[in-house]
């Protein structure tokens, strides 16, 4: 088992399989762009498979495939199949921007992918272009249809809540959840390196919940798992659910079970702490599975009790160091 210094058992690994992306979301990608890591610095499929096996041997049961945009990595379906077949791994979901889903949904389902989270912040084409730099909204909607047709159930939609940008679409997303039977999750806008974050654009989840309550008779839902960071509601008589991930205004660090692996093989114990541990070089220099397992345990012990309070202590300098595009959300 992987446990940290504060008694949390870490059984969920998020693997970023590439730092490349076919979108340029203003809240994720620094305005100046990111310098892509050289190809040889990125973990090969064999290396990812080996690391996942080591994590599975230490009790990890869920591996989320993320990026950058995971669907731009060549051979991604093969990689998903390898992770799915790893002994001990029970669930392999993916977070994607959906742009290439129409092409991939069927083969991902066949490869055994468990679930899809599709990031979509607006249902309006002009706003989509403004926030992502792409005219891709119809492609994402086509991808959602393809995913549903391929048999993916209860698709999750992740929308970053941005005051003055999409906070007036709350009810539209509630309609989307009903029409498609989706689980919509609004994520509080987190400050990341070089992005367009500022306090004025931040809206706490509590404010959005209050607006929803003003219009609907919402019913809180039981959490599916204690480590689920979202609190969710259903609207009686409607399908789907609406939830909120209040990562900025309410910390859920206490129940966090996650570890992250970057495309370059760095273990990141906390999304918001400036600590990491390299697994790639020791692996390439011939470390045994036992030695790598010991490094994973060492990385887990770097996990802080809780992350800083962003709203009180926002430091542009500290935020600049953390790049969501590299860490994978
Ligand atoms: N490209 C894929 C996608 O967009 O779904 C996977 C990687 S992306 C980094 C993972 C998630 O991080 C997305 O749901 C995205 O909305 C979220 N994200 C990125 N920057 C964020 C920010 N500043 N605040 C909150 N969520 C953010
Ligand atoms: Fe790309 Fe996803 Fe970041 Fe948007 S949120 S720039 S799609 S990695």
Question: What is the tens place of the pLDDT at every residue in 92-114?
Answer: 999 999 999 999 999 999 999 99
CA–CA dist 56, 84 (Å, integer): 11
Q: Which helix (H) or strand (E) holds 319?
A: helix 316-321
Could you say which ligand is closest to the alpha carbon of residue 192? 1
- Rounded to an integer, the average pLDDT of 162-178 is 97
Residues 6+ apart with CB under 8 A from 212: 170, 171, 174, 218, 233, 242
- Ligand 1 atom 2 nearest Cα: 96
pLDDT of residue 196: 73
Quote the ligand 2 centre to 25 CA distance (angstroms): 5
Residue 68 CA: which ligand 2 atom is closest?
Answer: 8
Which fold does the domain 12-327 belong to in CATH? TIM Barrel (3.20.20)
Could you say which ligand is closest to the alpha carbon of residue 15? 1
The answer to whether the beta carbons of residues 2 and 58 sit under 8 Å apart is yes
Q: Which residues line ligand 1 (CB under 6 A)?
A: 21, 27-28, 66-67, 69, 95-97, 119, 158, 160, 187, 189-190, 192, 195, 324-325, 328-329
- Rounded to an integer, the average pLDDT of 76-100 is 98
pLDDT of residue 322: 61
- In this structure, the strands spanning 258-261 and 12-16 are parallel
Could you say which ligand is closest to the alpha carbon of residue 201? 1
Given a cut of 70, whether residue 193 has pLDDT beyond it is no
pLDDT of residue 218: 94
Q: Which residues line ligand 2 (CB under 6 A)?
A: 21, 23-25, 28-29, 67-69, 97, 119, 325
242-293 confidence digits (pLDDT tens): 999 998 888 788 889 999 999 999 999 988 888 899 999 999 999 999 999 9
Residue 16 CA: which ligand 1 atom is closest?
Answer: 7
Give domain limits for the chain: 12-327
């Amino acid at each position: 088992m992987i446990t940290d210094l504060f008694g949390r058992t870490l059984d969920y690994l998020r693997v970023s399989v590439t730092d490349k992306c076919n979108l340029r979301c203003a809240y994720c990608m620094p305005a100046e762009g990111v310098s892509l890591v050289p190809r040889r610095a990125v973990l090969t499929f064999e290396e990812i498979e080996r690391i996942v096996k080591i994590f599975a041997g230490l009790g990890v049961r869920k591996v989320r495939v993320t990026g950058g945009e995971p669907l731009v990595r060549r051979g991604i379906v093969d990689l998903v199949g390898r992770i799915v077949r790893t002994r001990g791994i029970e669930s392999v979901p993916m977070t994607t921007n959906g742009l290439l889903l129409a092409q991939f949904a069927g083969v991902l389902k066949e490869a055994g992918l468990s679930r899809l989270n599709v990031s979509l912040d607006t249902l309006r084409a002009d706003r989509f272009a403004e926030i992502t730099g792409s005219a891709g909204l119809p492609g994402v909607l086509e991808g959602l249809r393809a995913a549903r047709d391929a048999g993916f159930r209860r698709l999750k939609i992740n929308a970053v809540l941005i005051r003055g940008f999409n906070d007036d679409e709350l009810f539209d997303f509630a309609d989307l959840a009903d029409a498609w039977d989706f689980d919509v999750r609004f994520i509080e806008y987190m400050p990341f390196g070089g992005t367009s974050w500022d306090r004025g654009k931040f809206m706490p989840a509590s404010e959005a919940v209050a607006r929803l309550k003003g219009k609907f008779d919402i019913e809180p839902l039981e959490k599916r798992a204690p480590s689920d960071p979202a609190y969710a509601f259903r609207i009686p008589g409607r399908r789907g659910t609406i939830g909120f991930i209040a990562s900025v205004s309410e910390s859920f660090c206490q129940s966090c079970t996650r570890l992250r692996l970057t495309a370059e093989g760095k273990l990141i114990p906390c999304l918001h702490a400036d600590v990491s541990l390299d697994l790639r070089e020791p692996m390439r220099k011939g470390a045994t599975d036992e030695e790598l397992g010991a490094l994973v345990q060492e990385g887990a012990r770097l996990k802080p009790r809780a992350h800083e309070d962003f709203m009180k202590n926002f430091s542009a300098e500290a935020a600049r160091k953390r790049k969501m595009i590299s860490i994978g959300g």
